[in-house]
């Protein structure tokens, strides 16, 4: 039985993502200010820093909007309490053939993030991740294989929350 509280994990993840988004918004504002204060092409034939800072600010703003949209996707997702099979919204503990355990939270956004807890880290994966595709629909006790870095590994579903 997993000791993680799924709702707490999700709120903790959202907090992490919001903090990153805030840092990105600050960086976008810094780039915008640098774009405003940078010398224009009239002062130097080769200086394109004004445009480059402008592009950077635009890119960071777009990324910040994508993150806000992703947070909305997480908040709107359905999280089943005790699903019988692995589905989106599941918290899954798997055992690798070597006896090592890993915990995964399947969310529509946030793949690649991880949540540190006293009970161990929880990796966030999306349904399109190859590992997730291999485990979707599996029940507790079922095994599945997954190939990573040219190595075939066998996993077993230990728990689903």
Question: The domain spanning residue 129 has which CATH number?
Answer: 3.10.50.30
Q: Is residue 111 part of a domain?
A: yes
Q: Are 158 and 101 in contact (CB under 8 A)?
A: yes
- The total number of structural domains that make up the chain: 2
Please check the confidence at residue 153 and state whether its pLDDT lies above 90: no
pLDDT at 69: 93
- Sheet (strand 114-115) strand order: 114-115, 122-125, 101-106, 91-96, 151-160, 143-148
CA–CA distance from 38 to each of 24, 42, 59 (Å)? 20, 11, 18
- Tell whether 28 and 60 lie within a shared domain: yes
- CA–CA dist 140, 31 (Å, integer): 50
Q: Mind listing the pLDDT tens digit for each residue in 32-47?
A: 888 888 766 556 566 6
- Tell whether 118 and 56 lie within a shared domain: no
Question: Is residue 157 exposed (0-12), middle (13-18) or buried (19+ Cβ within 10 Å)?
Answer: buried
- Tell whether 61 and 18 lie within a shared domain: yes
Q: Mind listing the pLDDT tens digit for each residue in 103-145?
A: 999 999 999 999 999 888 999 999 999 999 999 999 999 999 9
The parent domain of residue 95 ranges over 91-160
Name the token pair of 79: 């999280």
Q: Are 10 and 161 in contact (CB under 8 A)?
A: no
Please check the confidence at residue 86 and state whether its pLDDT lies above 90: yes
Q: Is residue 114 part of a domain?
A: yes
Q: How confident is the model at residue 28 (pLDDT cuts 50, 70, 90)?
A: confident
pLDDT at 91: 96
- Tell whether 62 and 10 lie within a shared domain: yes
């Amino acid at each position: 039985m997993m000791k993680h509280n799924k709702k707490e994990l999700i709120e903790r993840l959202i907090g992490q993502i919001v903090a990153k988004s805030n840092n990105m918004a600050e960086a976008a504002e810094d780039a915008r200010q640098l774009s405003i204060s940078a010398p224009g092409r009239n002062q130097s034939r080769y200086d394109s820093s004004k445009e480059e800072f402008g592009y950077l600010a635009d890119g960071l703003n777009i990324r910040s909007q994508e993150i806000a949209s992703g947070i909305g996707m997480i908040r709107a997702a359905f999280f089943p309490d005790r699903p019988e099979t692995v589905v989106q919204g599941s918290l899954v503990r798997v055992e690798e053939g070597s006896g090592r355990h890993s915990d995964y939270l399947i969310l529509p956004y946030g793949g690649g993030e991880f949540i540190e807890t006293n009970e161990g880290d929880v990796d966030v994966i999306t349904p399109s991740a190859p590992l997730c595709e291999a485990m979707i629909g599996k029940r507790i006790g079922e095994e599945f294989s997954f190939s990573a870095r040219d190595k075939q590994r066998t996993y077993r579903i230990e728990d689903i929350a």
